[in-house]
Structure 1
Amino acid sequence: MRKSLRIIPCLLFIASLSAAEKIELPVDVRSIDRNQPGVSYADMLSRVTPAVVSVRLALEVGENDLRRLSMTNPINPKLVRHDPVTNKYLVPIALGSGVVIHPSGYILTNHHVVTAQGQVVSKVAMVQFSDGRDLRGTILGSDSRTDVAVVKVDAVDLPYLRFGESDQLRVGDNVFAIGNPLDVGLSVTSGIVSGLGRSNLMLSAGRVRGPDYQDFIQTSAPINPGNSGGALVDTFGRLVGMNTAIRADGVGIGYAVPGNLARFVADSMIARGYVVRGYIGVDGEDVAFVEAVRLGATKGQAARLTEVDEGAPAFKAGLKVGDLVTAVNGYAIAGWNDLRLVISGLKPGTEATFAILRGNKSQLIRVPILERPRGQ
């Protein structure tokens, strides 16, 4: 113990001598050359981040209801907004992000951001922009099958993002996730495309079934709660995905709805208020690689039809249970999830060419496309 006490004054004495020395710390004052490829993406990000917003699902209540809510629920009064037009209060109950996809006020976000545990409880959202503006938003449509929703605000000349072609992404491409994680404010993280076409995913650590139509982009760009609905952009600042979920039991495993799928859903919602999907009346399953090759699928990829509804377009066109579908309109089919996505994207009123294998013989069958009944 005494040795320790003796050492301390010595250390203090030495430190005082060091502090008295006059030295000049070296500084490199050269400017960052952001024109060199890969050095910085600051200019691109400063251009695109204003198009990313915070989206809060809100309850619209009167003064008495607000008082009752405050007694039973923790409400941050700083987040409550009074609407002078309706003389009601907007009370936020969920937080996420969104992306302006058109200058006239159309905003892309997740279905799970604008619903309460999947249930529609309000058609109102509070939208906050990076310049501090708060605007009331109306939820135009929400699709649980893809986890995509569209919110509309009354504004013009808004900053917005253009869609890129997410089908052109490759594993290893640089991407950036933009959103409002944990309500800390607009934030950017970076990573790469780690995988493509991910499906059969569960949300909330396996407690919640994922959307029916899954074609997720996997990314190493960190995504956190509150990022949902935010933008996944490429190095040109194009919207290639919408941040949606993370693997709670892993690190650096995030998922985004691909931009092409989100655009398809948003276009339909804006035009019709709901999603128009193609329908031919089939169900199916994946085929193991070895079996697919044995049955004649040269690339080892196909989807097997397990049901063909009597009277449906597929039935009338001649498709049968057991047929292996290898391509639709020339697009190679990797499995049943792939085929479902392709069929859903076919335009009702048109015809599609299905390449099939039946008894080791290849055939081309033209199938008329109907609109999938709503609710199915």
Structure 2
Amino acid sequence: MRPIARTLSAAVIGFAVGAGAVSGGLIAYDHLNPSNAIISKSKVQTPYATVASYTPPTLPLGPDTISNVVKRDGPAVVKIVATVPQSVSISSSPFFNPFFGSIFGNNIPMTPQTEVQTDIGSGFFINSRGYLLTNDHVIHGATKIQVYVPGYSKPFNATRVGTDYATDLAVLKISAPKPLPYLVLGNSNQTPVGAWAIAIGNPYDLSHTVTVGVISAKGRPLTIGNRHYRNLLQTSAAINPGNSGGPLLNLAGQVVGINTAVSTQGQGIGFAIPTSTVEEILPQLMKYGHVIRPWLGVFIGTDSKSLAQQYGLPTSTGVVIAYVEPNSPAQNAGLYAGEVITAVNGQSVTSASQLKSIIDKTHVGQHITITVNDQGRIVTRNVTIGQEPNGPITEPSTVPSF
């Protein structure tokens, strides 16, 4: 794992938390602002969202620039309240005292029960028909999702349109009596490091909180639990539990990132999913409800050249399989831990990143050949590529999965 991921993996909050802690964040886009006419004429209309097709001009710089963006975008910011059942164990002993323990010592009879947890997050509308974006972790496992929209006294019940565990994105849908304000997705690839960034969300349930900073870095990898983020924006705009799922805006009021995580070991270190990632998967979320990804089902332990002699490789190439996931294409093909993958379809494999790139270019159902070195014995196995599960995968360690 890269140093940044290793340092922050245990110290990052990127999930929705219940009553005492919250996650999520979101922002809005108001079409009543006169400057919006320029953006509306220049955007590309799609069935699922509004995406800027040009490099947007910034608003006139001045003391009111940020407040004007907030005023224009604020009506599209929503609060998301998710009801999530949690399994807990409650003592069934009448002699148990939660402060002093039990007269039976540690042998306390426990009864499993279900406890309801309320998680608070954020999101923002991506079109006028009630479709909105948020983080998957904000609504993951929820049995009921409510959306609080500015201007309405009662919340709307939301339905899931699509979710993607891997990128931590989700699309929800509400039915409102009239068209809703929405945000334009800007171009994160063209957003330079050092550019101003504005976050709007509900940190700790403090609705429509605005924080400002800059884009501190791009392309940050990060691991939080079983989620492996490979390409995040880093920002100095304050992000707290409750901001997750909300947009990170540029000075044109366009979304360049989806606020997702914050480091608990330092100030001014927040992370957002870039809109370049959103635009890649949003069509599939809208069409299929999930993202279709090719899947092999192996965890790679190392691709160190020092293993060449240990594994009897003819050259110092190949990647070592650390773990094979149960019921995966790899297991069905007979691959197992300890083997060294040296080639896929005759193409030499020299690194874990190269293996990932090769697998990513395949499609579900495709037949491939994988050449392995099994303790000096060269074997070729036929593998049928599967579809990656849309959920957490229990990993033996923090090694990359393909």
Q: TM-score, normalization: structure 1?
A: 0.58
> In the alignment, residue 144 of structure 1 is paired with which amino acid?
Y
Displacement of 1:269 in angstroms is: 1.6
Deviations 1:343-371 (A, max 9, x none): 7876848x9xxxxxxxxxxxxxxxxx966
Please state if 1:251 is matched with 2:258: no
Displacement of 1:213 in angstroms is: 3.6
Please state if 1:227 is matched with 2:243: yes
Distance in 1, matches of 2:279 and 2:138, equals: 18
For 1:178, the equivalent position in structure 2 comes to 200
For 2:52, the equivalent position in structure 1 comes to none
Distance change >3 Å, CA 284–CA 179, structure 1 → 2: same
> In the alignment, residue 248 of structure 2 is paired with which amino acid?
L
Displacement of 1:311 in angstroms is: 10
Please state if 1:111 is matched with 2:111: no
Distance change >3 Å, CA 95–CA 346, structure 1 → 2: farther
> In the alignment, residue 171 of structure 2 is paired with which amino acid?
V
Displacement of 1:157 in angstroms is: 1.8
Contact 1:174 1:190 in 2 (8 A): yes
Distance change >3 Å, CA 232–CA 346, structure 1 → 2: farther
Distance in 2, matches of 1:171 and 1:285, equals: 33
Please list every run of 5 or more consecutive structure 2 residues that lacks an aligned counterpart in the other structure. 1-57, 86-115, 306-316, 325-329, 336-341, 367-383, 394-402
Distance in 1, matches of 2:355 and 2:219, equals: 12
Distance in 2, matches of 1:58 and 1:101, equals: 23
The SS at the match of 2:219 is strand
Distance in 1, matches of 2:319 and 2:199, equals: 38
2:68 counterpart (43, 53, 57): 43
Alignment of 1:234-313 (within 5 A): 234-278=250-294, 306=320
Alignment of 1:155-170 (within 5 A): 155=176, 157-170=179-192
> In the alignment, residue 196 of structure 1 is paired with which amino acid?
K
For 1:99, the equivalent position in structure 2 comes to 124
Structure that is richer in helix per residue: 1
For 2:77, the equivalent position in structure 1 comes to 52
Larger gyration radius, structure 1 or structure 2: 1
For 2:173, the equivalent position in structure 1 comes to 152
Distance in 2, matches of 1:161 and 1:347, equals: 34
> In the alignment, residue 146 of structure 2 is paired with which amino acid?
M
> In the alignment, residue 37 of structure 1 is paired with which amino acid?
L
Deviations 1:194-220 (A, max 9, x none): 111111333xxxxxx151243111100
Displacement of 1:98 in angstroms is: 0.6
Distance in 1, matches of 2:67 and 2:386, equals: 45
Contact 1:44 1:236 in 2 (8 A): yes
Distance change >3 Å, CA 167–CA 177, structure 1 → 2: same
Please state if 1:132 is matched with 2:152: yes
Distance in 1, matches of 2:282 and 2:300, equals: 27
Please state if 1:319 is matched with 2:347: yes
Please state if 1:197 is matched with 2:229: no
Contact 1:140 1:152 in 2 (8 A): yes
Aligned alpha-carbon RMSD (Å): 3.7
Distance change >3 Å, CA 142–CA 50, structure 1 → 2: same
Displacement of 1:136 in angstroms is: 0.7
Select between 242-251 and 158-167 the one with higher mean Cα deviation.
158-167
Distance change >3 Å, CA 210–CA 282, structure 1 → 2: closer
Distance in 2, matches of 1:46 and 1:343, equals: 46
> In the alignment, residue 150 of structure 2 is paired with which amino acid?
S
Distance in 1, matches of 2:346 and 2:297, equals: 12
Contact 1:278 1:343 in 2 (8 A): no
Distance in 1, matches of 2:212 and 2:81, equals: 24
Contact 1:130 1:186 in 2 (8 A): no
For 1:374, the equivalent position in structure 2 comes to 389
Deviations 1:48-73 (A, max 9, x none): 2212210010369xxxxxxxxxxxxx
For 1:69, the equivalent position in structure 2 comes to none
Displacement of 1:42 in angstroms is: 2.4
The SS at the match of 2:228 is coil
Contact 1:201 1:210 in 2 (8 A): yes
> In the alignment, residue 165 of structure 1 is paired with which amino acid?
N
Deviations 1:7-32 (A, max 9, x none): xxxxxxxxxxxxxxxxxxxxxxxxxx
Distance in 1, matches of 2:248 and 2:358, equals: 26
Displacement of 1:186 in angstroms is: 0.8
Distance change >3 Å, CA 145–CA 100, structure 1 → 2: same
Contact 2:77 2:200 in 1 (8 A): yes
Q: TM-score, normalization: structure 2?
A: 0.55
Deviations 1:267-289 (A, max 9, x none): 2121101111245788768989x
Select between 247-256 and 145-154 the one with higher mean Cα deviation.
145-154
Contact 2:162 2:288 in 1 (8 A): no
